[in-house]
Amino acid sequence: MTLRKPIRPNVIVVLAALVWLTAGCNAGGGTSVFLPPGPQTTQPPGNLVLYVAEAIGDRVAAYRMGADGLLPATPFSTLALENPRRLALNGNVLYVATDREVVSLSLGADGSLPATPTAGTQPFNGADIFELAVRGDTLYAGFAGFNRLEAFRLTASGQVPASFLTSSGEFDTDYRTLTVAGGFVYAAARASARIDTYLIGADGSLASTPETQNPSTFITLPDDIVAHNGTLYVTNKGRRTLAAFRIRADGLLPQDPDSETQRSGTYQDIVFNGNTIYTCAFNEGRIDSYVLDPADGSLPNAGPDSSTHVDQTTFPTALALRDGVLYVAQAGSDRIDAYLITPTGFPTEFPSSSTIAVPDSFPTDIEVYALP
């Protein structure tokens, strides 16, 4: 991948977790063949808006999808913001994590972005924020650079405050991904190679340290963790697998996965469609699909049941699913692709629709919003 403009040091931090893997690009990916973009929608605007965090492009972009759910050529609304990385939606508020702060954006009636952030936390140099999760009136953010998990009490209108409610973590808790399930926040760290469990207080607060769990839950290079039907599914980049941990009655986790796929890809993000899990293989330049065991939700001890066309230059980083369309942030291609889900439950081999590439944008996250 060639980055065509000088990269600020803070951008290098957010990309380091991704680009360092490219040295192993040929592992498991086959021969790279160019992935052609799909066409743009020809339908009138529908009720869905796709938001994109363009990490190198220094902006958040909003695309109004057609009535068919496919993509337009260009965004209808943008907001300049330095190094946006991760997005989260809660009602009509979009939260954006940068390397220094979390900001909240009140969306217009048509889904448009405000001219400036509506509110924001105090900026912290070196915070290195990698993930956001919202539960009720509390937003949780992983400040990997500070080895902290910060909880913020949202205002009545859903805005993020300047100061945190609680601050949690230990010396090695560089949390890269978070999820909320039941009354717990689960946070996965790279330095400690484990998943930590935090009990959520009645006011959304967290204890200063995670629940005692012995032995600890082991995971290597986690980049996404999702709770689904009483199980946590995690991208296990160190082993090039997906792993599943069943949540125990006390909310804690086992030391080792209850099920795990075969070594197949350096997985970056996952979404669910019933008993099918879609995941983007960052190094391999493809989207893989796995069908879970309907009896217990376990992962198959096998490779993917389906894969899209391979292009190792695309570096897919994030997924979103809505109304039978799978949206993919293709960071290496500087565009968003949409894949229709076929009757088999798997995405089409090639993109069904694509935005026009925005050079030097490197999209790292996407969210889909339905207009009220």
pLDDT of residue 32: 53
- Give pLDDT tens digits for 169-179: 999 999 999 99
Asked whether 91 and 85 are in contact (CB, 8 A), the reply is no
pTM of the model: 0.92
Distance between CA atoms of residues 57 and 80, nearest Å: 9
Lowest pLDDT segment from 7-21, 66-80, 100-114, 350-364: 7-21
Q: Could you state, in order of their start, the residue ranges of all structural domains in the chain?
A: 9-28+85-314+366-370
Classify residue 92 by its DSSP letter. T
- Give pLDDT tens digits for 116-159: 999 999 999 999 999 999 999 999 999 999 999 999 999 999 99
* Average pLDDT of every residue of the chain: 92
Coil, strand or helix at 26? coil
* List of residues 6+ apart from 214 with CB closer than 8 A: none
- The residue with greater pLDDT, 15 or 261, is 261
Coil, strand or helix at 316? strand
Average pLDDT over residues 330-349: 98
Asked whether 290 and 242 are in contact (CB, 8 A), the reply is yes
CATH of domain 9-28+85-314+366-370: 2.130.10.10
Q: Is the pLDDT of residue 5 over 90?
A: no
- Give pLDDT tens digits for 211-232: 998 899 999 999 999 999 999 9
Average pLDDT over residues 317-334: 98
Work out the pLDDT band at 18, boundaries 50, 70, 90. Answer: very low
Lowest pLDDT segment from 2-6, 90-94, 167-171: 2-6
